[in-house]
């Protein structure tokens, strides 16, 4: 068994960074659904802008809002306006085809692979 990539949101733009929240990443529920993320799922977030990498968990954001919000301590590492890749992994005994969601600069879905 190996951990393999199962879901990815590619080149999303962070719309908010909220230090006052207790933790997590808020993601537009439509984007979550297309990527196959579950609420509460552990994700790896990588900033293409700063190079920061962190693990956190998903909380739901308003549908069709395009929200990608870094919450709590993560807001120190990845800030509003940064470009990120958000990845989920699953434990599998064979290779799987990940769901990849491509978004534009406003986090509107442009393609799902």
Catalytic residue among 7, 57, 63, 92: 57
Distances, alpha carbon 29 to alpha carbons 60, 73, 91, in Å: 5, 22, 24
Q: Alpha-carbon distance 104 to 74, whole Å?
A: 23
Quote the tokens at residue 85: 């890749």
Quote the tokens at residue 49: 């802008």
Distances, alpha carbon 9 to alpha carbons 1, 19, 40, in Å: 24, 23, 16
24 is catalytic: yes
Catalytic residue among 6, 7, 24, 47: 24
Q: Which residue has the tokens 């802008």?
A: 49
Catalytic residue list: 24, 57
């Amino acid at each position: 068994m190996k951990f393999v990539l199962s879901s990815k949101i590619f080149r999303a733009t962070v719309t908010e960074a909220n230090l006052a929240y207790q933790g997590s990443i808020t993601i537009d529920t439509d984007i979550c659904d297309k990527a196959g993320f579950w609420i509460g799922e552990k994700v790896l977030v990588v900033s293409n802008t700063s190079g920061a990498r962190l693990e956190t968990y998903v909380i739901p954001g308003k549908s069709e809002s395009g929200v990608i919000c870094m919450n709590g301590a993560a807001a120190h590492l990845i800030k509003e306006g940064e470009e990120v890749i958000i990845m989920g992994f699953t434990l599998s005994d064979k290779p799987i085809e990940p769901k990849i969601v491509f978004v534009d600069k406003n986090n509107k879905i442009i393609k799902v692979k």
